[in-house]
Chains A and B, each alone.
Chain A
């Protein structure tokens, strides 16, 4: 991103915050009750009819906040508190994490989720991403492989140490000079799998970048992945457990989350491929019976609900079929179950063969 663009974006945000403040003051001065309307976004619905508009990034509705209801007044209160902090951050070009903001008034905010919602409201209100507010989250994610970049001056030279885990950068928007010799990006759900691949020197043998969100991927990890996809134009493969939890993680990488639906475009990984594990893998790779766990009632409920999501029907019917198969078989298994025969089975057999077949298939 160009420096000048950043500056103009910042001034723009400050100007919009000032306009907002002014309009509230004008309302109050003239005895009008201020009204704040916040667009609502969604990235999927569960309508059986296919004629929804979830694929568009346009708002799907509006919430009107006034001082007539206590719950809305509380939300406005929280919004203004956080907005005040944001204005100061942006003016002074400082950054803070959501957690930092929470700890500025823990008794007023009561919970981190309150701050998070206020940040979301502000992003929607001022039509920007969270990083524009100078609110950052320190990522949970790890990266290794054929990659080199700088984040606000700091060097991340993964190339120099191919099988070492580097933390995903905090200020993703300030990542520059990305250099890569990789052929693809591999996203793995779990840190254990990531560590296994590191131990197996996976990146030494395969020209790739490996990323993990260590479970459910946070905003920085998803944003970083998106940034790499844009800069490097590489195919992305995702490896998750064969269970509803793993599928949810896969869907979050691919389609984004409902909470951050307003900022979906900067967070999702549109062309991501599902590498595995598929329900059918248990037979193909003869996963031992004791590693196949029955789906719990909760698992089944989750899966049934996920099957209704419109984006699967619309964009990924084959993923949906796999999910249905999982439900039909009534069993789940973890990625590690594939490695019972040999510890390096994943890095030596499973992943390379899957990548190869993905490359052949259209």
Chain B
């Protein structure tokens, strides 16, 4: 398959900084318009068999290839010359498909890369969108050594030339040493902060810093004995609460959750197993009610019921595997995706107390302000100064500089943590009868003491 991702793949494998460029050049005088495409990378280069075996329809990224001809130049770092050949996509016999052209000498220069050019029917406007979309998603993976750019010429004059550059956020030097999951995390954060990577910079209205984003990640692997069939699943979930920041942002927040899906370092349409897994997750135990899963040509959106309109959830799935799960492995795949997402949700829950709690836990949390106020009251209304100091130091405060509000706040957060914790690991004693009492209340008495007692009174108490 002739795909952008195959170019990207060669770049990723290269240990040096690589550049992936695409040039779109539309000839103005044709109707229907024809655009020539030049894709160049400075990756590791490729071998010719790849093109020999290329059984691709005369189509590139949705556009019909005009003359069925690809012209390919490629070289590896160890080679002395740049190989040049034409590929005739209409030729069915594979050894006739490739026509060798004169090679170019490298004259001792050390470089590698591949350049492919072709012409397709269609205007640059139509062609641009999927390319930009691909690059925007690609950025989420934050592969640090690859920069991407797109040059669009809509005429001969330089004024009609537009360039789009897609660079991984360079201010994060850890990029090179970070794990794939860490990169996916910061990549998805950036994706949110830059409005699905539509902006070059972080939106200042949205979030002044990424601390306001709630991020959770999880991984899942198939068990050792099932040897790599399912592979490994990495999941990142970012939740942004636009109320926490500002409402000035132009971004419309429709409450839908976009699910970005990557397969072996490439954005892909979401596979069926992942779709099934998304539907099967027990969202309710995280306080979410899934209304529907919308699949628009592999772009998947989750819609929620009773969901606050100012909250946005983004999910990125990255599946590393050597082969697609076969039919009987489907359940394995579903479980893998489910487990990855669940781990990410649990991670979020653990990091942000009071977040993603089930409706049950949220009900319990509604008592938290009261509980905290009473507990803080028991401390601060005590006339025993030693006791007060004692309590504050238990909570880790310095008695001198303590404000009651801060203590109350702290107690609140601690209680919420405990409630979240209770929910995460349901203890065995939870369902044990809270009444170790015999047969319960025997309501044979005419009276409830307490209802009658003190019903009438006149306080003359000082």
Write the residues of chain A forming the contact surface with B, with a CB cutoff of 8 angstroms.
Answer: 14, 17-18, 21-22, 24-29, 31-34, 40, 42, 44-47, 60-70, 72-74, 76-77, 80-81, 83-84, 87-88, 91, 94-100, 108, 112-113, 116-117, 120, 136-138, 140, 170, 215-216, 218-219, 244-245, 248, 252, 257-260, 302, 305-306, 308-309
How many contacting A-B pairs (Cβ < 8 A)? 193
Distance in angstroms from A28 CB to nearest chain B CB is 4
How many angstroms from the CA of A22 to the CA of B421 in the assembled complex? 21
- B381:A28 contact, CB within 8 angstroms: no
Which one of B154-162, B267-275, B452-460 is at the A interface?
A: B452-460
Q: Which chain B residue has the least Cβ–Cβ distance from A305?
A: B444
Distance in angstroms from A200 CB to nearest chain B CB is 26
Given A46-B442, A62-B436, A96-B461, 13 other A-B contacts at CB below 8 A?
A22-B394, A25-B375, A26-B394, A28-B415, A33-B422, A45-B438, A61-B437, A80-B374, A80-B378, A117-B450, A219-B453, A219-B454, A306-B444
How many angstroms from the CA of A260 to the CA of B429 in the assembled complex? 29
Please indicate which of the listed interface residues A65, A95, A138 has the most CB atoms of chain B within 10 Å of its own CB: A138
Which one of B22-30, B204-212, B226-234, B360-368 is at the A interface?
A: B360-368
Q: Which chain A residue has the least Cβ–Cβ distance from B380?
A: A84
Q: Which of B382, B453, B457 contacts A87 (CB 8 A)?
A: B382
- A73:B418 contact, CB within 8 angstroms: no
Known contacts A21-B375, A83-B378, A218-B452, A302 near B446 by CB under 8 Å: yes
Residues of B within 8 A of A47 (CB): 438
List 24 contacting pairs A-B, 8 Å CB cutoff, sorted by A. Answer: A14-B384, A22-B394, A25-B394, A27-B418, A28-B415, A34-B418, A45-B438, A72-B434, A84-B377, A87-B381, A94-B462, A112-B450, A117-B450, A120-B450, A136-B461, A137-B453, A138-B454, A138-B457, A215-B452, A218-B453, A219-B454, A244-B446, A257-B445, A308-B444
- A216:B364 contact, CB within 8 angstroms: no
Residues of B within 8 A of A308 (CB): 444
Q: Which chain A residue has the least Cβ–Cβ distance from B446?
A: A248
Known contacts A63-B435, A137-B453, A77 near B446 by CB under 8 Å: no
How many angstroms from the CA of A138 to the CA of B444 in the assembled complex? 26
Q: Which chain B residue has the least Cβ–Cβ distance from A14?
A: B384
Distance in angstroms from B373 CB to nearest chain A CB is 9
Known contacts A46-B444, A84-B377, A33 near B435 by CB under 8 Å: no
How many angstroms from the CA of A83 to the CA of B378 in the assembled complex? 8
How many angstroms from the CA of A97 to the CA of B458 in the assembled complex? 10
Interfacial residues of chain B within 395-441, with CB under 8 A of chain A in the complex: 395-396, 411, 414-415, 417-419, 421-422, 427, 429-430, 434-439, 441
Residues of A within 8 A of B439 (CB): 45-46
Residues of B within 8 A of A137 (CB): 453-454, 457
Q: Which 7 A-B pairs have the closest CB atoms?
A: A138-B457, A116-B450, A61-B437, A80-B374, A137-B454, A305-B444, A28-B414
Contact with A along B344-371 (1 / 0, CB 8 A): 0000000000000000100110010011
Q: Which chain B residue has the least Cβ–Cβ distance from A88?
A: B381
Residues of A within 8 A of B50 (CB): none
Residues of A within 8 A of B387 (CB): 18, 22
Q: Which of B367, B383, B430, B457 contacts A68 (CB 8 A)?
A: B430
How many angstroms from the CA of A108 to the CA of B369 in the assembled complex? 12
Q: Which of A21, A31, A88, A98 contacts B453 (CB 8 A)?
A: A98
How many angstroms from the CA of A216 to the CA of B441 in the assembled complex? 20
Q: Which chain A residue has the least Cβ–Cβ distance from B451?
A: A113
Q: Which chain A residue has the least Cβ–Cβ distance from B379?
A: A21
- A18:B382 contact, CB within 8 angstroms: yes
Residues of B within 8 A of A252 (CB): 445, 447
Q: Which of B415, B447, B460 contacts A248 (CB 8 A)?
A: B447
How many angstroms from the CA of A88 to the CA of B367 in the assembled complex? 22
- B371:A76 contact, CB within 8 angstroms: yes
- A77:B434 contact, CB within 8 angstroms: no
How many angstroms from the CA of A207 to the CA of B251 in the assembled complex? 91
Interfacial residues of chain B within 321-363, with CB under 8 A of chain A in the complex: 360, 363
Residues of A within 8 A of B381 (CB): 84, 87-88, 91
- A29:B461 contact, CB within 8 angstroms: no
B49 close to chain A: CB less than 8 A: no
How many angstroms from the CA of A31 to the CA of B414 in the assembled complex? 7
Distance in angstroms from A24 CB to nearest chain B CB is 6
Residues of B within 8 A of A258 (CB): 441-442, 445
How many angstroms from the CA of A260 to the CA of B447 in the assembled complex? 12
Residues of A within 8 A of B305 (CB): none
Distance in angstroms from A224 CB to nearest chain B CB is 13
Distance in angstroms from B404 CB to nearest chain A CB is 13
Residues of B within 8 A of A91 (CB): 381-383
- B450:A259 contact, CB within 8 angstroms: yes
Distance in angstroms from A12 CB to nearest chain B CB is 13
Distance in angstroms from A50 CB to nearest chain B CB is 15
B390 close to chain A: CB less than 8 A: yes
How many angstroms from the CA of A29 to the CA of B394 in the assembled complex? 7
How many angstroms from the CA of A168 to the CA of B374 in the assembled complex? 34
Q: Which of A32, A81, A244, A257 contacts B370 (CB 8 A)?
A: A81
Q: Which of B367, B379, B411, B454 contacts A73 (CB 8 A)?
A: B367
Distance in angstroms from B385 CB to nearest chain A CB is 12
Residues of B within 8 A of A14 (CB): 384
- B461:A257 contact, CB within 8 angstroms: no
Please indicate which of the listed interface residues A87, A113, A215, A258 has the most CB atoms of chain B within 10 Å of its own CB: A258
B448 close to chain A: CB less than 8 A: yes
How many angstroms from the CA of A99 to the CA of B461 in the assembled complex? 13
Known contacts A62-B436, A83-B374, A248 near B445 by CB under 8 Å: yes
How many angstroms from the CA of A61 to the CA of B436 in the assembled complex? 5
Residues of A within 8 A of B455 (CB): 140
Residues of A within 8 A of B460 (CB): 170
B391 close to chain A: CB less than 8 A: yes
Q: Which chain B residue has the least Cβ–Cβ distance from A24?
A: B375
Residues of A within 8 A of B379 (CB): 21, 25
- A219:B457 contact, CB within 8 angstroms: no
Q: Which of B363, B418, B450, B458 contacts A28 (CB 8 A)?
A: B418
- B422:A67 contact, CB within 8 angstroms: yes
How many angstroms from the CA of A94 to the CA of B459 in the assembled complex? 13
Distance in angstroms from A33 CB to nearest chain B CB is 5
Residues of A within 8 A of B454 (CB): 97-99, 112, 137-138, 218-219
How many angstroms from the CA of A138 to the CA of B459 in the assembled complex? 7
- B383:A45 contact, CB within 8 angstroms: no
Distance in angstroms from B89 CB to nearest chain A CB is 64
B449 close to chain A: CB less than 8 A: yes
Distance in angstroms from B200 CB to nearest chain A CB is 43
- B448:A259 contact, CB within 8 angstroms: yes
Distance in angstroms from B15 CB to nearest chain A CB is 45
